[in-house]
Amino acid sequence: GAVVSQHPSRVICKSGTSVKIECRSLDFQATTMFWYRQFPKKSLMLMATSNEGSKATYEQGVEKDKFLINHASLTLSTLTVTSAHPEDSSFYICSAPDGERSSYNEQFFGPGTRLTVL
């Protein structure tokens, strides 16, 4: 299947710092990517839809000024958690559909980034 990478896989930071997470589609182009957050024993919650060349679309309750999304190219989307606090500690996962490879709306997930804010 298609490959989506994320970097870093794990980050530990102090409260108040900003953390940038990268999501890359390695062998296909993605005009749209999705960012999810998953707390322990909870389901994945969609945070925002990242659109190449335009503004991201945020889900209700997600602060766009806190979770900055940039989709600068067809293979890269970044999520920046600004002024991170302990309650932002979570597993952040990106995904992207590969319309060339799958016509059934299948999405390919990155391996996730585990953020711990001290």
Partner 1 sequence: RKEVEQDPGPFNVPEGATVAFNCTYSNSASQSFFWYRQDCRKEPKLLMSVYSSGNEDGRFTAQLNRASQYISLLIRDSKLSDSATYLCVVNVLYGNNRLAFGKGNQVVVIP
Binding site for partner 1 (CB under 8 A): 1, 32, 34, 36, 41-46, 49, 91, 93, 95, 97, 104-107, 109-112, 114
Q: How far apart are CA 25 and CA 102, in angstroms?
A: 15
Contact between 20 and 6 (Cβ < 8 Å): no
Cβ proximity to partner 1, 51 vs 82, nearer residue: 51
Cβ proximity to partner 1, 1 vs 61, nearer residue: 1
**Helix spans in the chain (H):** none
Cβ proximity to partner 1, 8 vs 111, nearer residue: 111
Question: Cα separations (Å) of 61 from 55, 57, 67?
Answer: 17, 12, 11
> Could you tell me the smallest distance in angstroms from the CB atom of residue 83 to partner 1?
26
> Could you tell me the smallest distance in angstroms from the CB atom of residue 73 to partner 1?
19
